[in-house]
Structure 1
Amino acid sequence: MGEPTTQTTPGDAEFLRVNGVTKSFGGAPAVDDVSLTIAEGEFVSLLGPSGSGKTTTLQMIAGFSDPDSGTIALGGRDLASVPTHKRDIGVVFQNYALFPHMTVAQNVAFPLKMRGVPRREAESRVRAALEQVHLAKFSDRKPAQLSGGQQQRVALARAFVFGAKLLLMDEPLGALDKKLREVLQEEIVHLARSLGVTVVYVTHDQEEALAMSDRIAIYNEGRIEQIGSGRDLYARPATLFVATFMGESNIVRGALAAVPSGSGDAAGAPGIVSVETPAGVFAGVASEGLDASAGRACLMVRPEHVRIGEAPVGAPRTAATVRGATYLGSSLRVSLEVPGIGTLTSRQSESAAGPDGNAGLRPGDAVEVWWRTEEAVVLAEGGEATLTSTLSAVAAG
């Protein structure tokens, strides 16, 4: 594959706008008042559990399904009256959707044929597209003669061969093994950047979304709970659902003991609030939109921030008992029992594990655990049903 002649990065210009879109099936809302603005050249993932509205949103953008209300505009053009085949949007599905009786070249050429592109120009475009996905030497093969990864590359080439500036991808790597998924993740991002296309990518895989995206929209029950960079979503979740869906988290429930008067100080620093729990009072950064009148709240701290050992002055701390330590190669996972709270999880670096793989920790050991105030986030307390459904969704993958 030759090196691309141009390399683009996401700009600020609005390219795709989804505004107040809703869609119901049988009276049940699948997408509920979703609004989303995507810049030209941006790679945005729609992340959430099955049935949360991600694919339905994608289908409405593509034109496979019409919204009950709301609008969708591409490049400033309202798509309401534009049929699917005239939207110039490339779509890549998980099941590849290749024509089994056609060769690789014929599959890639199909959208060009439908658009009346002259034969010689079409052949040139197909060759270039297959070179970009490393399949030029497989042009005469049928899909059944290719591996799953190769078939997905064919589907990708077919999606951009006609010059689409927007690619919609619905869990395109879900059927592939982990190692191949990681390789294709890098290829898709590189290809999108080199072609200057905008990508909307549906997945339920957190790591995949984090590895590929400029921004991630977290879906839950038909709504977008939060949208932002992967780093922002992980470090500063806005809701309990986002905190528990984006990676592993320790959740401590309690009562709000102090609430900031504003969203932050004059320098823009986030407000610090305290949560009173059976194990003591712990401070953390107030999440966006934390309701001062709610009374109840959750303090969230990631396992890698829960440290074991003597705490520095002023750091939140609590006594704990070691339940077990598991060596995971790159890290050590320690399960801790905290009176009044229950179980906390700590992740220590591989170097902390030591030669015996458990940092000398044994079940029953009494330890002190601590974290920094700025590493904890205080969130509105979701109902038990919300938390249960969240954990179930995470377990289901």
Structure 2
Amino acid sequence: MPDFTVREYAFISIAYEGCPKSTLDHAYISESAFEHLCELAASFSKHGAKVFELAGRRKIKLDQYVGVIETKCGTRIEILPKYMEMSGTDDQSIIQQERRLLQKMLSVSLHLPYREAGAANLNRFKQSLHEWIISQFLASFERLVQRGLRFDYNRVQEEQKFLRGQLQHVKYMRQSPSKRHIFPIEHDVYEVNRPENRLIRTALEIVCKKAKDASNWKLAQELRLMTGEIPRSQNIRQDLRQWQSGRLLALYDEIKPWTELILGEYMPVSTSGEWRGMSLLFPMEKLFEHYVAYHLRRNLPECKVKTQHAMEHICKHQNSNIFKLKPDIFIERSDDKNIVMDTKWKLIDQSDRSGRYGLKDSDIQQMFAYSHFYLEHESEVILIYPYRVEKFNRPLDEFEFRQTDGAKLRVVPFNLDEPENFKIL
């Protein structure tokens, strides 16, 4: 089945004879794949997550989720963030740049040990997000095998014609006389069968089935042959809880998040018991928030940067606080001039004065509440939106909250291509 690449808010329709060619903003897929997406949409709606919006009997509109969806029939849909302008830009160039951005955001948000080096990786962004995750997992696994897998002692109970370890006297005494020459024994075996290895092996089996890139498929098969003695995990959740860390297992730190990513199959809500392939979906609002916070910590080492800092409430009800105020980013400064920030994954236009630049009333009201409860109107609050070359390339003029002693709101752009230069002080 073919793979499709689209962007946020794209339309997905059922293909028909003579339909247009699929683009980044409108894909035409098979009827079976479309029905699977409709089933997913209904499942998500029950849990309050809006990933798709039905735009007719034969059309779906995507929302602010990015990642990969694999349907029952094998159709794979890659959803990229929408932040580049389409006019005059080659589609493949847009795909590569937006894939690169998404990979960086995922690496930061999920604390993935992402590293690329050497000429062999010059074309890495031509791979889909799905294949990129697979390639990172396989590279980590290959390094682990080269350095040596960790073994562990496992207790084994068996019956043998010789004594080894500890004899189970009760069982032996209860045996019939015809089995007196058989000894029920219990002993430890030093083997590769431990929770970490079982989980990695299970993830490798998934990768062997899902990899479409030739180099990924070849490496996966080689690793499969090299680690054939490792059994698969029979209880993934239990083995994940038993995954150990420490000096002796430091080599496993790199592969753990990739293994969890493949086994966990990130989706906005739990749909356990249903087939969903290797589907990975992430909310862009959260990815953007974590990405901005990460670079603020790097660019402002003298400040303490906190995310989802929920310390204040709007109301009191029956002698207890209620309705938390939870700003995306709270910057604690040594001079007590703290700053509250909110990130918004939305494209605004600095020239649209009549349309209030695309700012929402609810966002401004929310920032006023942050200013009052967290800063007592003594410092500034900041709204952060993605940078746009022509539409939003400089901070807007400051907004001053009325009936306050000079409390101000700033609206600033965040350049996704040059995050290391972002500073607000």
TM-score higher than 0.5 here? no
Which structure shows the bigger proportion of residues in strand conformation?
1
Larger RCO (alpha carbons 8 Å, 6+ apart): 1
